[in-house]
Structure 1
Amino acid sequence: MNKLLNIVHAVPRQFVRDYAFKSDLKIKWVRPEKISCIKPEKSGDLAKLPPLNPSEILPDYKDSKELANADDTVKSMFMLGNNPNHMTTRYYRDQMIKEVQRHAQDYGSMEAKLARLTALIRRYQSHMEVHPRDKMIKVRLKEMIDKRKKFLKYLRRWDYPRFEWILEKLDLVYKPPPAKFHWITRKESLQKLTDSYCENIKNERLEAYHKELQEQQIPFLEEAIKKMIFVRQEQIDCDVPVTVTEEQIEEARKELAQLQETRDAAAAESRKQSDETFH
């Protein structure tokens, strides 16, 4: 029995997974931060509500002659800044509906509904920035955003020009749901980062090798011309068929001269750019 146990322990453990393995690659993956569904970046709101003037009179009492003749203490009771928040919300809602309604009594069209929802959504978003733990408002805000997306989807299907107009008027961007949801996983992201890292290394090495070959072009052509002249002269002296012609040698010289001119022009241009940068 002891011999059998010794044999088992002697066999190397080939399938043991090393969870503490640390890669030497300079690759670091950070999980992207999840954006809340109630944030303007996710809901599609490109603008916020305009700043409120606290001294503005409530819309229902703007045309009141008695209030116009009243003293400042009475007027302050009818200012937006001295009234509950729901009065400010109603003010923003009415102002946004007036921008898109078809007539003065239009509160039931699709444009008016979208304007009403947009005003409430932006009002609740500003509230959530101050009170991020308000669960009730958060749930309401999520439901309103989903409802507005549904209305926009239907309006886009029914009347596309009106859909574009309402987006421009309310400063919205429509983000349709993806046809197929794709989870962001660490494994797949690391595979993509590794592929990109290897591709960059390959390109860098190829570029370095290409520059090295370019630097060897002029010495190679000079050496090739010398050898061609030597081989031609030896063939003539030995009275054997000449395989290297004068045209080949002249063509190599022209190629060498053209290459030197190109290198000199590039060097002059780089010196000029460096001087301009320095001055």
Structure 2
Amino acid sequence: DQVVEFQRRKIVSLIQRHPLDDNSPEVKIAQYTVRIRNNLHRFTKIDKYDAPRKIVQETLKNRRAKLLKDLFYQDRDRYDYVIKLLGITHEVPKMGVKYLKPTRKGELRRLTAEYCDRLKEERLTEYHEELKRKQETLTEEEEKIKQLIAQESKYLGTQNPPTEK
């Protein structure tokens, strides 16, 4: 525990703007990073199935990502400095793109829409195949009817010579 505290103080002292700086976004990002790395160490070395700690880990990552995003839009130089010093990777969302947090209701709507689209597509393809099969029989019947008309016309002597256009 003393080692963790020493690491935290060391990293925070590198990031701080002045000795009394405890509440700037850079310091908070550094503190979150230390906690994330310690949790990660716990997952890899001690207990990888620690569910409550995984929830805490995700919360810490989300908070740090929010601070990084805000810092990116406020001051790019400080953002680059913090990223480089802490050795973390962060992908900044594109401007104007709205990222919606998945919700149960929203996911149900999305899944229902996907299911309906897939069902509609399947039924359309089935109907298309059925129409193709019917078309084949219809063309056969059409040929038979044309031959029958030609035979009847020949028999009755009413056959007109084909006119070419």
- TM-score normalized with structure 2 length: 0.51
| Bigger Cα Rg | 1
Q: CA deviation at 1:153?
A: 0.9
Alignment of 1:1-279 (within 5 A): 85-91=1-7, 94=10, 107-108=15-16, 113=27, 116-123=30-37, 125-126=39-40, 146=63, 149-150=66-67, 152-159=69-76, 163=80, 166=83, 169-174=87-92, 184=103, 186=105, 190=108, 192-240=110-158, 242=160
Per-residue CA distance 1:194-239 (angstroms, 9 max, x = gap): 4444443332222222222323443332332221122123234434
C-alpha distance in 2 between matches for 1:118 and 1:107: 13
Supply the AA of the counterpart residue of 1:120.
V
Amino acid at match of 2:103: I
SS at match of 1:150: helix
Q: Distance in 2 between matches of 1:203 and 1:108?
A: 59
Which letter maps to 1:228?
A: K
Contact 2:36 2:60 in 1 (8 A): no
Specify the SS of the correspondent of 1:210: helix
Inter-partner Cα distance in structure 2 for 1:180 and 1:132 = 26
Closer/same/farther in 2, CA of residues 132 and 200 from structure 1, 3 Å limit: closer
Deviations 1:53-90 (A, max 9, x none): xxxxxxxxxxxxxxxxxxxxxxxxxxxxxxxx222443
CA–CA distance in structure 2, aligned partners of residues 107 and 173 of structure 1: 21
Alpha carbons of 1:194 and 1:114: their partners in 2 closer, same or farther (altered >3 Å)? closer
Encode CA deviations 1:135-167: one digit per residue, 9 max, x unaligned. Answer: xxx7xx968974773354133332279549827
What RMSD, in angstroms, separates the aligned Cα atoms of the two structures?
5.1
Percent same amino acid among aligned pairs? Answer: 17
- SS of aligned partner of 1:234: helix
CA contact 2:153–2:159 (8 Å) conserved in 1: yes
Higher RCO structure, 1 or 2 (CA under 8 Å, sep 6+): 1
Q: Which runs of 5+ in 2 are unaligned?
A: 18-23
8 A Cα contact 1:152 1:174, kept in partner: yes
Question: Residue type of the partner of 1:184?
Answer: T
Aligned CA distance change for structure 1 residues 166 and 111 (closer, same or farther; 3 Å): farther
Query: Any idea what SS the aligned residue of 2:87 has?
Result: helix
Using the size of structure 1 for normalisation, the TM-score is 0.35
CA spacing shift, 1:193–1:132, aligned 2, 3 Å = closer
Q: Which structure's residues are more often helix, by fraction?
A: 2
CA distance in 2, matches of 1:157, 1:106: 20
CA distance in 2, matches of 1:148, 1:204: 42
